[in-house]
Structure 1
Amino acid sequence: MFTDVGPPELITLVVLAVLLFGPDKLPEFIQNVTTVLRKVREFSEDTKQEIRSELGPEFKDFEFEDLHPKTFVRKHVLERDDLGLGEIRGALDPRSELAEIAEAVHEAANGSRNDPPTTGCVTLAKEAPIEPTTHAAFDPDAT
């Protein structure tokens, strides 16, 4: 339910609860909250059981989580391969092509270290800077 609440948030909530309710009434407040949550859960489970019994025996294995849109699509579209989605997914997956390119680059990098550079290749080694033979006239007062 609260999967994105971390330790700093929990500490902040505890400090805030102690400040708002005080250390005297905090245990009583926690008991009231847990009682309310327990009653809501019981009400929810009773409602689910009542709906299942009203639907009849053919829906006794019915799960309400299946009504969530992501679960519905995953169960009825993605897991069944009637439409050939596996082939389409494989064709659109760039991982195999990227692996081939990475391998070719790796082989080229290892090969260039062992072989002397040829005349048509560009080398990445630094060359000595070219000294200018003539200096341009510069007048600092001109600006």
Structure 2
Amino acid sequence: MFNDIGALELVALVVLAVLIFGPDKLPKVIQDASRFIRKVRAFSESAKEDIRSELGPEFKDFEFEDLNPKAFIRKQLAENEDLKELRSSFDLKKEINEVADAVNGTEHSGVSDTSVPAAVNGSSSGGPDLLKKGETPARDDRPPFDADAT
């Protein structure tokens, strides 16, 4: 619960507690706080047991941590054999590199010219080459003014 509190923060909290409650009331405050935490834990455990008993025997393996979407998906991915097989057969980095090379028009091992569209690999098929930069207008040429656009 307090895994991210360092030694300096802990010392600061103790000094602050002594200043606020005083050294004579501090033990009583600590006892009350620990008693409250124990009661809350006992209440939550009894509520969990009540829910498990109401759900019935088909939910005997139910864990409340599974209600967290990240934990649920992580558990399902780890248990499903079909997804493990699919994950091992699919190389995302290779696929991304192939797509990037196809867009850039460079040759990549495993990608043939027939799989790259004509406009991408540099051959013109009568249409404009959208990947090449157009000619830059001369400095004196002004772009057309559109009064409706401004």
* TM-score after normalising by structure 2: 0.57
CA RMSD of aligned residues (A): 1.7
Determine which structure has the larger helix proportion and give its number.
1
Can you list the C-alpha shifts for 1:73-117, whole angstroms capped at 9, x where unaligned? 1111354242412333xx2368xxxxxxxxxxxxxxxxxxxxxxx
**Residues of 1 paired with 2:71 and 2:82: CA distance?**
18
Q: What residue in structure 1 maps to residue 62 of structure 2?
A: 62
- Give the number of the structure with larger relative contact order, counting CA–CA contacts within 8 Å between residues 6 or more apart: 2
Deviation per residue, 1:116-138 (Å, 9 max, x gap) = xxxxxxxxxxxxxxxxxxxxxxx
Pairwise CA distance, 1:19? 0.5
Rounded to whole Å, the distance in 1 between the matches of 2:10 and 2:89 is: 46
> What amino acid does structure 1 have at the position aligned with 2:89?
E
Q: Unaligned regions of 5+ residues in structure 2, if any? A: 95-150
Question: Cα deviation per residue 1:22-57 (whole Å; 9 max; x = unaligned)?
Answer: 000000000000000000000000000000000001
Q: Contact 1:78–1:85 at 8 Å: present in 2 too?
A: no
Q: Percent of counterpart pairs with the same letter? A: 61
Unaligned runs of 5+ in 1: 95-143
| Paired residues, number | 92
Which residue of 2 is the match for residue 39 of structure 1?
39
Q: How does 1:1-143 map to 2 (within 5 A)?
A: 1-83=1-83, 84-88=86-90, 91-92=91-92
Runs of 4+ in structure 1 off by over 3 angstroms are none
Shift of 1:2: 1.6
1:70 partner amino acid: K
The structure that has the greater radius of gyration is 1
Give the direction of change, closer, same or farther, for the CA distance of 1:86–1:2 in structure 2 (3 Å limit).
Answer: farther
Whole-Å separation in 1 of the counterparts to 2:78 and 2:57: 28
